[in-house]
Structure 1
Amino acid sequence: MNTLEVKLGNRSYPIYIDSGLFNNRDLLSKHIRSQRVCIVSNEIVAPLYLAQIKLALSAFDVDEVILADGEAEKNLANFEHIMSHLLAGNHGRDTTLIALGGGVIGDITGFAAACYQRGIDFIQIPTTVLSQVDSSVGGKTAVNHPLGKNMIGAFYQPKAVVIDLASLNTLPIREFNAGMAEVIKYGILGDGEFFNWLEQHIDAIQQGDVAVLTQMIERCCQCKANIVAEDETEAGVRALLNLGHTFGHAIEADQGYGKWLHGEAVATGMVLAAKLSVAMNLLEVSDLRRIEALLSAFDLPLQAPENMGFNEFICHMRRDKKNLAGKLRFILPTAIGKSEINDDVSEDLLQQIL
């Protein structure tokens, strides 16, 4: 078993990576401090893994909340549903929430944990590539609002992240490929050697080579852990992890949550950010082509929706969380493995790109 640590002083926590961890009773139980446990999952993941997790937790008093599947379910109504379940079940401050699912489940469960009785413990058990390499690590929790993605949330760290690679065996190919956008993001924003490695291992990744997937997920988690340890609340360098997200979140909000998967929107967002960098003479065209080629290898979209133009994008981007003093801020790649925060993008240039 590979074990990493997110180093945040007395709020530090481990990330476990291996196959078969859902059956590891000792691993899960050592991060639970009382008898009460509530598992939050969805109608797709629960039939696959809920019974397995409950068996591993048979020594505890376990109940569950099962939500519908999809990004559209990461909303205030389901947040209230989780809260009502906890209150009706007389759950106390010593209850541990467990997020069993992808990024949607992890985000809404973490936000519920942050808010219920002013904060209770939670454990992340991510079951998608995207949640394993990105959203389960770092303590960003949130729900969506019709006017903007992840606009209602909190920074709240889990007690542990348990990544069972076997869960990827049941992941649909579209979901797998969407997660690869976040993997590729790490290579573009700060790890050129990893980007090269990904180019060299496309076939092995697509074939589900366990050793290769383990190495890939561990490298992403280590990169995320290092950045979070340096900048937990996104006051500086952590903003680089939003590469592609300014454009991507606009696509998701405009098109309706779930029509585009998050990773698909981020993939297109990274291409648009790279094109913006090329137009500003910050990035070589050859690097843009490499980015496009690697994303294309995983069937990720490179073009914005046909029904989205400048006006649709700018409406959503003006509400982006990274903006300061009313100025749009973008994460722009300046080379494969380098990126920067830039608030000097003219709307005229942005309109040309879009």
Structure 2
Amino acid sequence: MGEVLGGRYELVDPLGEGGAGVVWRAWDHRESRYVAAKVMRQADAASLLRFVREQAVRIEHPHVLTPLGWVGEDDRVLFTMPIVRGGSVATLVGDHGGLPAGWVATLLDQTLAALEQIHAQGLVHRDVKPANLLLDATGAGLPHVRLADFGIAAAVDQPRLTQVDHAVGTVGYAAPEALLAGWDPDPRADLYAAGMTAAEMLLGQRPDAEGGGDLASTLVRAHVPSPLAGVVLDLTASRREDRYADASSARAALSATGLVGESEQGWEAAEVEVFDQVPDLPEGWGTEGSVAHLDAADPSTGNGDARPGMGAGIALLVVGLLLVLIALVVALT
């Protein structure tokens, strides 16, 4: 059996590792289900700040991955989320290279739909990138993406206790203004990052790694349909005033390209597949949890009761109560 944290989450096997810690598959004893659990490596101030911010986000939307819960024990904390089996957009691009225009338009539209809801809640994600776009394992069918990792999300137009004196976001996806110390969060920075992510999906690598010209000419050389290229270029305009005003406006322009897949019925399969990236359960684990736990809970296995003789003790107690009751009845009569 694995280590149990907080008396609830039993660590089963590691699923991945990132800058903030290791992501485990864990068995939730309270809900009787598997979850993904991110375990923080150390309780330093920066890690705890990311943890608190991510836990504070409770946005219900089909394209937003919302944390489920958290526990703290000794010098470690973990928070849990649903297991998303298809890996990330970064994984998909790594497997297939540049994606077909229909795939990119559909994934971009879903990402913008998530940003629509996030921005409506007064938040800016500030770290939209392929690694934070997680995919259900839909095979060659209509893809389904979920925006994750709200560790550096920030509210718009709220007083700041401290002034940010460093760049925020991931270089290559962060908007130019986000790389300046002291910038105020603006939803249009998320639109820029979504556009750069779309460009990477189209090209198979980060645009800044292409070389030999600007993004517009690079998209032309990659034979990207001009309507879709136009949306990507408007999203990634250097000046935020030249970008779409909001995610809804960007979605409307994207819809006009006719490339967005909206249902399985109209989805045209391509030579792209979102594989199941989650490994099989390790030995000793099944769909209902640990085999050892199941054996312990099943009296038919012969070792289901951790306290042998307990059943006999209960039986003796019942007999004793009956004898007392009989004695009282005799005394009253």
* TM-score of the aligned structures, taking structure 2 as reference length: 0.29
Structure with the greater alpha carbon radius of gyration:
2
Q: Which has the higher helix share?
A: 1
TM-score (norm 1): 0.28
